[in-house]
Structure 1
Amino acid sequence: MDALDILTDLDNVIPFFQAIFSADEHKVIGYEILGRYRTHNSIESLGPFFMDEGIPEEYKQEVDHVVLTKALDKAVELDKDVLLFINRDADLLMQDDGEVFLQMLLSYEEKGISLNRIVLEISERNYKGQSDHLDHLLIYYRTYGIKVAIDKMGSDSSYLDRIGELAPDILKIDLLALRSTSTSHTYQNVLYSLSMLARKIGATLLFENIEMVYQLQFAWKNGGRFYQGYYLHYPEEQFVDRHIRKTTLRNEFHEFISYEKKKLTGIFQLTESFQSHIQELLGKYRKYSTYEELLEFLTIELSDVAFRMYVCDEDGFQKSENIFKEDSDWILQSHYKNKNWSWRPYFLENIIRMRNEKKGILSDLYSDIETGETVRTYSFPLNSHDYLFIDLSYNFLDKMDVLLN
């Protein structure tokens, strides 16, 4: 695609619109504006044109202006609550301190497109300017009601240090790498962490590049409110019916909900079963002189379930040695005694829960620091001060359908 061919044929520079769907209403809530070029026999993306560093910036600005003008001319006909997602490169935007872009939006506000419907997707991939100058511009835009989205989350972790500074309204998480169920659990954990971060800062999550139902389920499970991708709808030259996927999404979300409820019921039942089993074992082995002796008793009964056990007090100090399964043998690890684990996420919260409810707790999935395996921990109150921790082995979790999801 030759840049001069495009510049001398701007009539064939056109906008395409990719629909963005919502989890709460199952309908189209907005469109991302994408640049396309119509040739004699095909429609080509302008992405390579905008990404080519050899093309002068003024050429890109001119083409960008044409795409946006034609898109906004069409968008005037949309419902008054439909959002418009507009991509802008930070360097191009800052060429004139963002003034031309703002004035264009203000001119269309007079035609009925309120600025609180505009979502600016800002890309800082190769931004050469000062970040505080860009931040000031975005703050200024927000006074007009314009929303700010950070894109490419999940594919470029360098944006993480910018989230706190920009406090975006929307985080776009790229699911391109999550194209099969074989994608590493570690990668899924990273995306889960991003969803937790969005919740903390009050940002809405938009998952993009959804190409399979598995990705849609992941987005739904991890707090995604907005969804975008070829699985839902391809970009088109015209706006689609806002309810085009309503029935499909309703049915698929029903399947997601049913699966999640079944899984949570299974985990609850297993936790109750653990509660009864551990109570029985503690009654059976109530005569012990040290916690290490108790742990050795428990290895007889839990050899196929656990790979590590220990006892901590309510402040997180380890009252026992670790007993750890190495191959088929259990060994005591004395150097763990008196270590403190109160710094671990949810540790004190779970202690209070166990103390108040007088029952055990099954943790969520996490990667064990030492073994690297995916594990869960079952913790149980021994008395009013001390608590038993049982790290469940991956082999055991793998046998239980609900415990590795």
Structure 2
Amino acid sequence: MDALDILTNLNRCFPYFQPVFSADEHRVIGYEIFGRYNDNGQVISLGSFFQDKSIPDEYRLEVDNAVLTKAFELATELDKDVLLFVNRDADLLIHDSGEAFLQFLQQFQEKGISLKRIVLEISMDEPKDEMDHLLNYYRTFGIKIAIDKLGEGSSFLDQIGQLKPDIVKVDLMPLRSMNPPPAYKDILYSLSILARKIGATLLFKNIEMVYQLQFAWQHGARYYQGYYLEKPISNFITRDILKDKLKAEFHEFIIYEKKKLESVFQVTERFQTKIQEIINKNRKTMNFELLLKALGKELDQVALRMYICDEDGFQLSPNMLKKGIDWEMQPEYMRKNWSWRPYFLENMIRMRNDKKGLLSDLYCDIETGEITRTFSYPINAHEYLFIDLTYDFLYKNDTLL
């Protein structure tokens, strides 16, 4: 479609609205505004027009403002707490230090569109110092900031850390298959931790199937958007239209998650009992190597690696590593310190105070590359046993994966 046709027929440009739903209220909390064009009765997306850098900035802004004007005029009928998500290219914003966009928004305040309801969605290839200052300036007026479409050539975690947005959008397109890239979940986990640290809310978009909705819920999403919930449309919908559906589906997610947690608890209790029995049998010798060998006989199909540390994380025993059908002692690990590992000292204190073992979350073993969990057990107040579990064991107890 020719850009000139669009510019000379602004009356054919109009907004579409895609609802954003919340996990805490199970209702519509906002709408993202998209541009559409009526081409002789055929509705065409203006996305490619706005993203075309060969079109002069002022032309793209003119069309964008025409769409937003119609959108805001329609939005005056909405409840006063409904958010309006507005996309704007970062380069277009800093074109005039962001003043034109701010003035555009302010003209609708008298019509009931408070700036506190505006969520500015920005996308950019690289973070810019002037953008950081501009977004802080917008925040003084109550405008919320959302980061979307982060550049592939830069670290999105760096961008989020630098800009500290109110909302981080996560694209679930990579999860269209049931088997996303192995690092995908790890990246999302890191993102959820960072978002929590800076006080940002996660919004998962492009949710097209129920398992994507569950995935988003499991990974800390507060807001949800996608065709599975509602596609972009030309009008607004009843805010509670999916309330019963979302409540029912989230209830199923909760039941599933509680079963997984219960399974982890039961496995932890079984390990607690088993390890205690083995240690009691071998308490007279308490030679670390003999104790590990005794454990190896009992946990031959379960353990990948075992070792003992003191309360400061210094290794007191060799590693005992499973190699094929045999166990191999690795004395070179003696006196290595593991206190630098995340949550290591915190877990030591928990075990000492509770006098009970702990089962870690899933992680990838640095040396073998195998997915594992670690069971940690307090032998006494000063010595702690660590058992890395095999993937085969986790697979057979699939709720642990």
- TM-score tier, shorter chain, comes to over 0.9
Which residue number corresponds to residue 88 of structure 1?
A: 88
Which residue number corresponds to residue 103 of structure 1?
A: 103
Show CA shifts across 1:257-300 (max 9, x none).
Answer: 00111111111111111101111111222233521121111111
d(CA) in 1 for partners of 2:338, 2:275: 22
Which runs of no fewer than 5 residues in structure 2 stay unpaired?
none
**Where does 1:366-377 land on structure 2 (aligned, <5 Å)?**
366-377=363-374
Range with bigger deviation, 321-330 or 34-43: 34-43
Which residue number corresponds to residue 11 of structure 2?
A: 11
Does 1:144 find its partner at 2:113?
no
Which residue number corresponds to residue 72 of structure 1?
A: 72
d(CA) in 1 for partners of 2:46, 2:316: 64
Per the TM alignment, residue 241 of structure 1 is displaced from its structure 2 partner at its CA by 1.3
Per the TM alignment, residue 154 of structure 1 is displaced from its structure 2 partner at its CA by 9.9
d(CA) in 2 for partners of 1:135, 1:37: 33
Instruction: Choose from 346, 349, 352 the match for 1:352.
Output: 349
d(CA) in 2 for partners of 1:397, 1:115: 50
CA contact 1:154–1:191 (8 Å) conserved in 2: no
Show CA shifts across 1:106-161 (max 9, x none).
Answer: 1100111111000001111377xxx2222222111111111111113697763321
Identity value in percent: 64
Stretches of 4+ moved more than 4 A in 1? 153-157
d(CA) in 2 for partners of 1:391, 1:237: 55
State the one-letter code of the partner of 1:63: V
d(CA) in 2 for partners of 1:294, 1:374: 25
Which residue number corresponds to residue 201 of structure 2?
A: 204
| Partner secondary structure for residue 116 of structure 2 | helix
Range with bigger deviation, 242-251 or 51-60: 51-60
Show CA shifts across 1:341-368 (max 9, x none).
Answer: 0000110011000000001000010111
Show CA shifts across 1:204-223 (max 9, x none).
Answer: 11111111111111111121
Over 3 Å counting, the alpha-carbon distance change for 1:289 and 1:359 in structure 2 is: closer
Which residue number corresponds to residue 192 of structure 2?
A: 195
Show CA shifts across 1:235-274 (max 9, x none).
Answer: 0011111111111100000000001111111111111111
d(CA) in 2 for partners of 1:331, 1:273: 26
State the one-letter code of the partner of 1:84: L
Question: How much is the aligned-residue C-alpha RMSD, in angstroms?
Answer: 1.4
d(CA) in 2 for partners of 1:392, 1:10: 63
Show CA shifts across 1:16-71 (max 9, x none).
Answer: 10100000110000000011111124211111111222222221111111111111
Range with bigger deviation, 41-50 or 147-156: 147-156
User: How many residues are treated as equivalent by the alignment?
Assistant: 401
Which residue number corresponds to residue 254 of structure 1?
A: 251
Which residue number corresponds to residue 24 of structure 1?
A: 24
Instruction: Choose from 127, 130, 133 the match for 1:133.
Output: 130
Range with bigger deviation, 179-188 or 13-22: 179-188
d(CA) in 2 for partners of 1:293, 1:104: 76
Which runs of no fewer than 5 residues in structure 1 stay unpaired?
none
**Where does 1:6-405 land on structure 2 (aligned, <5 Å)?**
6-125=6-125, 131-152=128-149, 158-288=155-285, 290-404=287-401
Over 3 Å counting, the alpha-carbon distance change for 1:219 and 1:280 in structure 2 is: same
Over 3 Å counting, the alpha-carbon distance change for 1:154 and 1:293 in structure 2 is: farther
Range with bigger deviation, 366-375 or 132-141: 132-141
Over 3 Å counting, the alpha-carbon distance change for 1:153 and 1:178 in structure 2 is: farther
d(CA) in 2 for partners of 1:271, 1:26: 34
d(CA) in 1 for partners of 2:73, 2:188: 37
State the one-letter code of the partner of 1:160: L
d(CA) in 1 for partners of 2:222, 2:94: 30
d(CA) in 1 for partners of 2:85, 2:189: 24
Range with bigger deviation, 292-301 or 145-154: 145-154
| Partner secondary structure for residue 225 of structure 1 | strand
Range with bigger deviation, 163-172 or 301-310: 163-172
CA contact 1:155–1:174 (8 Å) conserved in 2: no
CA contact 2:123–2:150 (8 Å) conserved in 1: no
CA contact 1:318–1:340 (8 Å) conserved in 2: yes
Over 3 Å counting, the alpha-carbon distance change for 1:337 and 1:364 in structure 2 is: same
| Partner secondary structure for residue 110 of structure 1 | helix
Per the TM alignment, residue 338 of structure 1 is displaced from its structure 2 partner at its CA by 0.6
d(CA) in 1 for partners of 2:312, 2:151: 36
State the one-letter code of the partner of 1:250: K
CA contact 1:18–1:233 (8 Å) conserved in 2: yes
CA contact 2:125–2:151 (8 Å) conserved in 1: no
CA contact 1:362–1:377 (8 Å) conserved in 2: yes
Task: Give TM-score, length-normalised by structure 1.
Answer: 0.96
Range with bigger deviation, 209-218 or 157-166: 157-166
Range with bigger deviation, 346-355 or 216-225: 216-225
CA contact 1:17–1:33 (8 Å) conserved in 2: yes
| Partner secondary structure for residue 116 of structure 1 | helix
CA contact 1:85–1:121 (8 Å) conserved in 2: yes
d(CA) in 1 for partners of 2:186, 2:337: 25
